[in-house]
Amino acid sequence: MLHLRLIVPTDRVRPVLELLEGDASVTHLVVLSGAAREPAGDVVLCDVAREGASAVLSALRDLGIPEDGSIAVENVDIVLSAAGEKAERDAPGLGTDAVVWEEIEQRVGDEVELSATYLVFLTVATIIAAIGVLLDQPILIVGAMVVGPDFGPLAAVCVGVVLRKRAMALRAAVALVVGFPLAALLTLGAVRLLDVVGLVEKSMLLAERPLTDFIWRPDALSWVIGFLAGIAGIVSLTSAKSGALVGVLISVTTVPAAANVSVAVAYGVYDEAWGSTVQLVVNLVAILLGGVLTLLVQRTFWRQRALRPKRTRQAQLVAARARREARNRDRG
């Protein structure tokens, strides 16, 4: 379940309470009249089943609560309550599958900036992958995929496209378009430095590398793997009980390819550099396509589930009435 803490302007408490009381997924409703000071208003507390959370939050936004008050959302790990169990039973679908769009938007919003931290992690991951390529060591590729932060911007692009958040999608795209070339350039310099000090050499790149040569040999399976990785990453992002590393681990399809480009260019093996570039582009496009399609399916499914129950129609009517009352006050 999710716990909501609302600060509601006094003149909108009644429609908010009607909305919450009329929704079967809401329970444990508490009202603290006049408790809020900044912004001023009443504090309303409640718990809501994840399956119904997005519809409730959308209706509260329609009432203008974020503009004149606030909405804070927290995950609740343990709820011992018969009323809470009833709310979860009455909500459509399963909580583990539920998508709270406001939560997803907030989560990926922190991943869209081209920050120094993002560049450091991406560069370090690419250098680790470059060494793994030269040594033909999959364990180092695994290490690079754990460090790589690139799924954050990839997920933000997908969410921005599906939710029509153009600014989010553009900022995330900039993080990818600028981040990968910069990380590859710094990795190229690192490879040359390692070569100068005698830790690596060109013969390592030209030698047989059966465990890692797939990185620069794209084929139809590269597209399939990238597409599946996009699906897995988005499901891990939207699911309430997914493994935290799933989204991070799919960087195995991108970071090693960027690293192989750097190594191949450093040693003048341009056919391998070109193959790695194609692999990187194919994987990025496939991941984005898989992620966008997954979000579209989830959005369509949950929109249909949310429109079926009577409680949601009632919430929409309450929100519409509140908007009419607000317009009448403004005209008066």
Residues 6+ apart with CB under 8 A from 68: 9, 12, 39, 41
Residue 232: the pLDDT is: 84
Q: Residue 138, preceding bond cis, omega within 30 degrees? A: no
Q: What average pLDDT does the segment 202-231 reach?
A: 88
Mean pLDDT, the chain, rounded, equals 83
What percent of the chain lies above the pLDDT cut of 70?
84
Residue 292 has pLDDT above 70, yes or no: yes
Residue 236: the pLDDT is: 79
Residue 320 has pLDDT above 80, yes or no: no
Q: With cut-offs at 50, 70 and 90, classify the pLDDT of residue 313.
A: very low
Q: Which of 267, 282, 14, 294 is nearest to 133 (CA)?
A: 267
pLDDT in tens, 238-270: 775 554 445 445 555 789 999 999 999 999 999
pLDDT in tens, 45-66: 999 888 888 888 888 888 888 9
pLDDT in tens, 93-148: 665 667 777 778 877 877 677 888 999 999 999 999 999 999 999 889 888 888 88
Residue 186: the pLDDT is: 96
Residue 250: the pLDDT is: 57
pLDDT in tens, 163-215: 888 888 999 999 999 999 999 999 999 999 999 999 999 999 999 888 888 88
pTM for this structure?
0.77
Residue 16 has pLDDT above 80, yes or no: yes
Q: How far is CA 285 from CA 31, 77, 142, in A?
A: 49, 36, 22
Q: How far is CA 260 from CA 5, 188, 211, 228, in A?
A: 49, 10, 13, 22
In the 3-class helix/strand/coil scheme, how is the chain assigned residue by residue?
CEEEEEEECHHHHHHHHHHHHCCCCEEEEEEEEEEEECCEEEEEEEEECHHHHHHHHHHHHHCCHHHHCEEEEEECCCCCCHHHHHHHHHCCCCCCCCCCHHHHHHHHHCCCCCCHHHHHHHHHHHHHHHHHHHHCCHHHHHHHHHHCCCHHHHHHHHHHHHCCCHHHHHHHHHHHHHHHHHHHHHHHHHHHHHHHCCCCCHHHHHCCCCCCHHHHCCCHHHHHHHHHHHHHHHHHHHCCCCCCCHHHHHHHHCHHHHHHHHHHHHCCCHHHHHHHHHHHHHHHHHHHHHHHHHHHHHHHHHHHHHHCCHHHHHHHHHHHHHHHHHHHHHHC
Number of neighbours of residue 237 by Cβ within 10 angstroms: 23
Q: What average pLDDT does the segment 29-41 reach?
A: 91
Q: What average pLDDT does the segment 303-320 reach?
A: 50
